[in-house]
Amino acid sequence: MEELFLNVLFGVLFISIFIVVFFFSYARIMEKNVIEIQTEQVVDYFFDDFVILLQNDQVKDLAKQMLSNLDSYTQDDDARIKAKNQEIINQSLMLISIFATILLLLIIFLFVKNCNKIDLQKMFLKNVALLLVVALTEFLFTTYIASKYISFDPNYIKYTLTDAMKEFAEET
């Protein structure tokens, strides 16, 4: 029974570390690319409707003013987002380090307690093989399925913007 528990601890340790490393090294890049592509598609989808508004000189002047102010706002937002993301990475690394340390201590304790009964090398290699299968599956799924999933609904965004403009028009 302790061998099974030890085997599970190894699996949880390896897969937990893998998930954190995989997300911050590959999945977040894929996710960013997907969001950028889908954002461009959504903007292209409904931008033609708003070009009509820009034919009005007052609207065009207002849009130019908004765009000139937008640059300074986005720089502040970019810095804030970058700092927040770095904080999340640091917290994740700290938590996975604590979790891995606890698991390693449990593994060492169980191994020392049962060193004559357990083939640690065989158990380690089995879990490495399992990790490789999980890693390959996760990589293939992220690359070929998750990256193609469309999560942005252009109509929802269009109607949300339209509603916001209607509310603004009613307030002014």
- pLDDT, tens digit, 9 for 90 and up, residues 23-42: 999 999 999 999 898 888 88
- pLDDT, tens digit, 9 for 90 and up, residues 79-89: 899 999 999 99
Identify whether the C-beta of residue 118 lies closer than 8 Å to the C-beta of residue 3.
Answer: yes
In sequence order, which residues have a C-beta less than 8 Å from that of residue 5 and are 6 or more positions away? 110
Q: What average pLDDT does the segment 14-29 reach? A: 95
Instruction: Determine which of 72-76, 110-114, 135-139, 155-159 has the lowest per-residue pLDDT on average.
Output: 72-76
Residue 166's Cβ-count burial label (10 Å; 0-12, 13-18, 19+) is exposed
